[in-house]
Structure 1
Amino acid sequence: MDKKIAIIILNWRTYKQTVKCIQSVKRSSYKNFTIIVVDNDSGDGSLEKLTEEFTDIHFIKNNTNAGYAGGNNLGIRYALEHGFDYVWILNPDTMVMEDTLSILVRFVDSKEMIASPQIMYMEEPEKIWFVDSTLSPLTGIATHLHHGEMDQGQFKNIIDVPWIPGTALFVPRTVFEKVGLLDDGYFLFYEDVDFSVRVREKGMSVSVIPEAKVQHFVGAVAGRGNPRNEYYVTRNRLYFLKKHSASLWWPLYAIYLLVRTCFASLKSRIQQRATIIQDERMNGIIDFFKSRMGIKHVS
């Protein structure tokens, strides 16, 4: 009997992207799945339009914007409570191929691992967005390898990696039962890195399956390169290091980052350049030390 898959799509004011994602999932050759759309308190009418358009989907309305982890955790809990064998978390700005889900199930079946397909740019479907990664244990900096390369079939075998993004995260229920859910303290960024590390700490694999592919409209949700993201990346990287590095190391690195950010801000002011990036990094460092996690606090 085919394993039951819960496909979780988190919507926050992304009606058009969510519709396209749902439509691509419905074309999958693997059919034993249920789509669960979690609305993160969009408040823009997108949830109402989605519920009118799709009557065969389970919708969960969140009463607050709980971020990537908090919103997806609602869907994960529903999936675990209703006996699904696997959870596939999909960003709303993704489109899946007809065979993507079948390939993931075939490779992950009965294994204790989490997996990601090879992720391509939606704008340039032959260009790689994610297929491999690195993670520094000293700085917590997580990067993509082979990012921007053209896919010429050079990646054929499963790749064991230190972390995979939450863009198209495929997880057996047994992994959630042993590791727990996503850490919703992050709100945005690094919750996928954290989850991957926790999986590896339990002796399970974190892998990319290049044969399976997903297209990703980069920036549709996260808005790469804006000052808000500098805040979350800076704060959450320190939170990640506090959780996963030696107890004496992370305070030293946090102080170093604080001093470096102060000097960068001072240099920008002397040169009469904009300081908004440094300001948001500083806000992230300050909020980390104040244990202000979750959504950014606005004073």
Structure 2
Amino acid sequence: MEIEPLVYIIILNYNGYKDTIECVNSLKKINYKNYKIVIVDNNSTDESEKILKEKFNQCIIIQTGKNLGYAGGNNVGIRYAVKNNSDYICILNNDVIVEKCFLEELVKYLYSNHNTAMVGPMICEYSNKRVIQSTGAIVNLYKGSVPSLNSGKMEDVVNQKVIKCDYIGGACILVRKEILDEIGLIPENYFLFFEETEWCLKAKKMGYDIVCYCNAKVNHKGSASINKVSGLSEYFMHRNRVVFEKRNANLIQLICFYVYLFLQTIYKIVLKKQSLNILKYYIDGLLNRVDERYSFVHIGKIMR
């Protein structure tokens, strides 16, 4: 494309320098030229900061000083990008390998479609690049579910190039800088899971489009950093489902959700023999508290 707006690519790292190195190396091959890479280290304990500084002296590397989670860490990078004249900001997980034209296609779409607040690529599996992880998702506030569109399908059976949805996967999101004045930064009430869902949903409620543009593609390993802490993924996925509903559902939706959650939980415990721990996860969500096992977690109050 003739016009290349300045894009800041934000990559969040936590004890995952090997994935981050692979991600940055894939970015070096893209055909879009006007971009800068900001690596935000979320207080890693594996010498990630030192290794990444030695490996990528052309990248901007920021140390948070504490583990701020997905939203808090990425917001550090977003604030830096906003202060340094970015036009667009790309949130990119460190366990993503990008295709050569991914950024050009996303920028081209966002530049030509002014009512679109955020656009994301088709996200495919890292291990099998023809299998789709997600082409966006639909939010069901009556059930507290966010089913991914086209998950598990082969990419060549999806004929739509533009898929309007409620939410695009946080592995890769391109957003206009100007839109941040209206929707604010990524909400920091979750630590991980559901924060980018709420971010997208807020923009959608304000009348903007959220789009998966399938001409752009990335390949995602999935949960590389999360799985390094035992139980973290299970806990926050359940806890934050309740937090998300409390923050985004209307009264009727919330009542329906609580009834549905009660019946679903009974089914899981009685028939599926799942652990009673799930009850504690939900109660922590209701009370806006975090299990003491995850005392390192920092949950802020960003929401504009």
Q: Return the TM-score normalized by structure 2.
A: 0.88
Q: CA deviation at 1:55?
A: 0.7
CA contact (8 A) 2:42 2:65 kept: yes
| Structure 1 residues 97 and 150: alpha-carbon distance in aligned structure 2, compared to 1, 3 A threshold | same
CA contact (8 A) 1:155 1:210 kept: no
1:140 pairs with 2:137: no
* 1:160-179 matches, cutoff 5 A: 160-179=164-183
* 1:75-224 matches, cutoff 5 A: 75-109=77-111, 111-113=114-116, 114-152=118-156, 154-223=158-227
Q: How far does the alpha carbon of each residue in 1:2-46 deviate from its partner, in whole angstroms, 9 at most, with x for none? A: 210000000001111000100111111111111000000012101
Percentage identity across aligned positions?
A: 30
Map of 1:228 onto structure 2: 232
Map of 1:53 onto structure 2: 55
Q: CA deviation at 1:227?
A: 4.0
1:284 pairs with 2:281: yes
- Structure 1 Cα separation of the partners of residues 236 and 209 of structure 2: 27
Q: CA deviation at 1:133?
A: 2.1
CA contact (8 A) 2:143 2:260 kept: no
| Structure 1 residues 264 and 294: alpha-carbon distance in aligned structure 2, compared to 1, 3 A threshold | closer
Give the AA of the match of 1:286: I
How many residue pairs end up in the alignment?
A: 291
- Structure 1 Cα separation of the partners of residues 208 and 257 of structure 2: 29
CA contact (8 A) 2:284 2:291 kept: no
- Structure 1 Cα separation of the partners of residues 26 and 291 of structure 2: 31
Q: CA deviation at 1:102?
A: 0.7
Moved more, 87-96 or 288-297: 288-297
Give the superposed CA RMSD.
2.4
Give the SS at the match of 1:197: helix
Give the SS at the match of 1:48: helix
Q: Which runs of 5+ in 2 are unaligned?
A: 297-304
Q: How far does the alpha carbon of each residue in 1:264-291 deviate from its partner, in whole angstroms, 9 at most, with x for none? A: 44667xxxx672xx40x22221212222
CA contact (8 A) 2:38 2:61 kept: yes
Give the AA of the match of 2:78: I
Give the SS at the match of 1:234: helix
- Structure 1 Cα separation of the partners of residues 268 and 102 of structure 2: 45
- Structure 2 Cα separation of the partners of residues 77 and 32 of structure 1: 19
Give the SS at the match of 1:145: coil
Give the AA of the match of 2:41: D
- Structure 2 Cα separation of the partners of residues 106 and 294 of structure 1: 44
CA contact (8 A) 1:73 1:181 kept: yes
| Structure 1 residues 83 and 112: alpha-carbon distance in aligned structure 2, compared to 1, 3 A threshold | farther
- Structure 1 Cα separation of the partners of residues 291 and 214 of structure 2: 33
CA contact (8 A) 1:190 1:236 kept: yes
Map of 2:301 onto structure 1: none
Give the AA of the match of 1:283: K
Q: CA deviation at 1:222?
A: 3.5
Q: Return the TM-score normalized by structure 1.
A: 0.89
Q: CA deviation at 1:247?
A: 2.8
CA contact (8 A) 2:242 2:286 kept: no
CA contact (8 A) 2:143 2:256 kept: no
Q: CA deviation at 1:248?
A: 5.2
Give the AA of the match of 2:281: G
Q: CA deviation at 1:105?
A: 0.9
Give the SS at the match of 1:18: helix
Give the SS at the match of 2:71: helix
Q: CA deviation at 1:296?
A: 6.5
